[in-house]
Amino acid sequence: MSGNERLIKSKKRVQQHGEVFTPKEIVDAMVSLPGLNESIVQYSTMVLEPSVGEGAFLINILERRLQLLADKFPEDLVKFENFALLAISSLYGIELLEDNVKKCVINLYVAFFDFYKNFAAKLNKAPKANVLESAKTITAINIVQGDFLKRTKNDGRQIVLSEWNPLQIKRNTKHIKVIRTEYTLEDIYHNIKIEPGTVYTPVPETKQLGLFDDQPDVLPLPVYRYLPVNIVDVYKQEMEEIDS
């Protein structure tokens, strides 16, 4: 372990939240375990880190995935961009502490940006703005603040995660389309199937009315669904309203 690697932020945080960071060497050794590495380096394998911290495990996995794609598409920037976004879209993290969430989002995006920039430079190209915006959007959505054990955010609301499901990938696919679907962690825990494109709509809170209370007028919440979109354009978050 390197002498300057920080494993705790403060003793108070260790006492209150049990927060201890895993050394990089240990992260690398764990991710490299036979049988595990072969699975998680695949862009389609979904990985959820329930206590993600600053993202050490997800960054390690992402960098392995990007290197695999760079080796697979050494001369094709468009294919690399599309599959690289798919590779980051299947990485998820839940973290209790807000500062860790922000740091994890930044760390994961920077890892993507640095690798993408260097790969593009080898082809005498520059990173594309829409690819970077999509990577930023996916990362910010996939890393969620909340309590994994309670399956809720710190304010008691449901933890919501987005699946970015690719549509009809074939051997010669170059431009990937995805459909985004929102699941609560509770849905995932109970293996509940959700209609593709579903935008999570929270159920309005209700309260017990007294015998002589007037029935309040409750307007139904609008219901939306996500539209299929090129993965390099997911930052637009395109959706349409569904007639109720």
- The sign of the dihedral angle between the CA atoms of 168, 171, 172, 176 is positive
SS3 224: strand
Q: Which comes out higher in pLDDT, residue 243 or 116?
A: 116
pLDDT digits (tens, 9 = 90+) for 4-32: 566 556 555 544 445 556 667 877 887 88
Residue 184: closest CA among 205, 165, 199 = 199
What's the chain's length in residues?
Answer: 244
pLDDT top residue among 216 and 87 = 87
Name the DSSP letter for residue 146.
Answer: S
pTM: 0.84
Query: In this predicted structure, what is the pLDDT of residue 1?
Result: 42
**73-120, pLDDT tens digit by residue?**
999 999 999 999 999 999 999 999 898 999 999 999 999 999 999 999
| Residue-range domain boundaries for the chain | 11-205+212-242
Residue 77 has a CB neighbour count (10 Å cut-off) of 21
38: exposed, middle or buried (Cβ count in 10 Å: 0-12, 13-18, 19+): exposed
Residue 208 has pLDDT above 90, yes or no: no
> 54 burial class (0-12, 13-18, 19+ CB within 10 angstroms)?
buried
The reported pLDDT for the residue numbered 17 is: 46
Whole-angstrom CA distances from 120 to 11, 53, 105, 165 are 43, 30, 22, 26
